[in-house]
Amino acid sequence: MLALLRLLLLALFFLMLSVFGFLFCLLRPFDPNHVYRFSRLFAGMAPLMGIKIRIEGWEHLPKGNAVFIGNHQSTWDLFTACKAVRPGTVTVGKKSLVWIPFFGHIYWLSGNILIDRKNSARAKGTIDLTAKRIRNENLSVWLFPEGTRSYGRGLLPFKSGAFYTALAAGVPIVPICVSSLDNIRLNKWNNGEVLIRYLRPIETQGLDRKAARELTERCHQLMSDNLEQMNLLIQQKAEGKNQQGKQQKAE
């Protein structure tokens, strides 16, 4: 019953967002702050899904533009990772996203950058275009370097596009880690806490394209270590609450 109620709420949310969001975007098409505004709406649905979000590392956010990289887990990223999107940030996604009902047209009109992953010959052109937009339009971009959802398989290997983009634009890379979403279920009242952590920026100015591989490996290791620590903290906290609840019942 709870899962059905939540599904109905999600369907209503997407319907309202598709209608009013489309009209709103038509007034100011491709405004990069649309991504931030809609991200806040998606993240606002998290409590209705029984999810509590906590963010750490605000002090690590750079004052200027950046390339944000995050781990990509599942559809739940829409209601969790979105909480970490900053103003003036657009995402880089595959062109096929446009064809998703309700979501696709808003994604396009929000100023996100669409790429053709099936055409590797255009990859460098996409990197150069994205870097140019970062510099000329005062933008930051958010990418998922894994390239696909992990679905609980841990942090997948990184593709290098995000790192070439940061090098071409001369902006720092800011890794963002989101703790495991594996335990989230629509039929559970309380889906626990999700921890999001901004890591320290990694500067790219003065580095050439040859540094992309080292940056890729460095960020993967850094994020992997932090995710392991974060998931352990979440697990310990949940076990502590369960133990406390058992003690209270026993009393």
Chain segment 165-199, per-residue pLDDT in tens:
999 999 999 999 999 999 899 999 999 999 999 99
Share of the chain above pLDDT 70, in %: 93
Which ranges of the chain would DSSP assign to H, the alpha helix?
2-27, 33-43, 104-109, 123-136, 161-169, 212-250
Share of the chain above pLDDT 90, in %: 71
Residue environment code for 139-167, b if the CB has 16+ CB neighbours within 10 A, otherwise e? bbbbbbbbeebbeeeebbebbbbbbbbbb
Going from N- to C-terminal start, the domains of the chain cover: 2-245
Q: Which CATH number fits domain 2-245: 3.30.1560, 3.30.420, 3.10.660, 3.40.1130?
A: 3.40.1130
- The whole-model pTM stands at 0.92
How many CA atoms lie within 13 Å of 198's alpha carbon, on the beta-carbon side?
A: 22
* pLDDT (0 to 100) of residue 226: 97
Torsion angle of alpha carbons 222, 223, 226, 232, nearest 10°?
-140
* pLDDT (0 to 100) of residue 246: 63
- The predicted-structure confidence for 109-160, as pLDDT tens digits, reads as follows 999 988 876 665 666 678 888 999 999 999 999 999 998 899 888 899 999 9
Q: Report residue 97's pLDDT band, with 50, 70 and 90 as the boundaries.
A: confident
* pLDDT (0 to 100) of residue 239: 79
